Structure 1
Amino acid sequence: MVCLQLRGTALGSVDAVLFDKDGTLSISEPQLLTLASARVFLCLEQAALALPAAVLPDLQQLLERAYGLSSAAICPAGITAVASRDHNLIATATALVQVGMGWPEALALSEQVFAQADQQDARRSQEAAGHTSTTTEGLRPWLEELQAAGVVCAVISNDDMAGIEHFLSSHGLDLFFAGLWSAEHRPRKPDPAAVHGLCEQLGVEAHRCALIGDANSDLRMAVAAGIPHQLALGYTAAWSSPPPLAEPHPLIHHWKELSLAGS
Structure 2
Amino acid sequence: MAHLQLRGRSLGPVQGVLFDKDGTLSHSEPRLIALADARITEALERFQAMGASQSERSELHDLLARTYGRCQSGVTPEGTLAVASRQHNLLSTATVFCQMQLGWPRALVLADEIFDAVDHRHQTTSSAVDSPALLPGAAEVLRELHAAGVVCALISNDTKAGIQGFIDAHQLDDCIADVWSADHLPTKPHVGAVHGLCAKLNLRASDCALIGDADTDLLMARQAGIGITLGYVAGWHQSPELTEHEQLIHDWSELTIKGRSNKS
What interval of TM-score do these two structures reach, taking the shorter chain for normalisation?
over 0.9
Structure-to-structure mapping, 1:87-166, within 5 angstroms: 87-121=88-122, 125-126=125-126, 128=127, 132-166=131-165
SS at match of 2:109: helix
Unaligned runs of 5+ in 2: none
What's the % identity of the aligned pairs?
48
The amino acid across from 1:101 in the alignment is: L
Q: What is the CA distance between 1:217 and its match in structure 2?
A: 0.4
CA deviation profile, 1:101-141 (whole Å, cap 9, x unmatched) = 1111111110000001111338x955x18765210101121
Change (3 A) 1:232 1:39: same
Residue among 256, 259, 263 paired with 1:262: 259
Change (3 A) 1:182 1:248: closer
The amino acid across from 2:77 in the alignment is: P
Q: Is the 8 A contact 2:2 2:257 kept in 1?
A: yes
The amino acid across from 2:188 in the alignment is: K
Q: Is the 8 A contact 2:131 2:165 kept in 1?
A: no
Q: What is the CA distance between 1:71 and its match in structure 2?
A: 3.0
Q: Confirm or deny that 1:212 pairs with 2:211.
A: yes
Unaligned runs of 5+ in 1: none
What's the counterpart of residue 9 of structure 2? 9
What's the counterpart of residue 36 of structure 1? 36
What's the counterpart of residue 85 of structure 1? 86
What's the counterpart of residue 237 of structure 1? 234
Whole-Å separation in 2 of the counterparts to 1:7 and 1:45? 50
Q: What is the CA distance between 1:72 and its match in structure 2?
A: 3.2
What's the counterpart of residue 46 of structure 1? 46
Whole-Å separation in 1 of the counterparts to 2:97 and 2:4? 47
Q: Is the 8 A contact 1:25 1:135 kept in 2?
A: yes
CA deviation profile, 1:198-244 (whole Å, cap 9, x unmatched) = 0000010000000000000010000000013xx11001111000011
The amino acid across from 1:71 in the alignment is: Q
The amino acid across from 1:91 in the alignment is: S
What's the counterpart of residue 224 of structure 2? 225
The amino acid across from 2:10 in the alignment is: A
Q: Is the 8 A contact 1:212 1:233 kept in 2?
A: yes
CA deviation profile, 1:177-218 (whole Å, cap 9, x unmatched) = 111000010111000111000000001000000000000001
Could you list the runs of 4 or more consecutive aligned residues of structure 1 that deviate by over 4 angstroms after TM superposition? 129-132
Of 51-60 and 215-224, deviating more is 51-60
Whole-Å separation in 1 of the counterparts to 2:244 and 2:181? 27
Q: Normalising by the residue count of structure 1, what TM-score does the alignment of the two structures yield?
A: 0.94
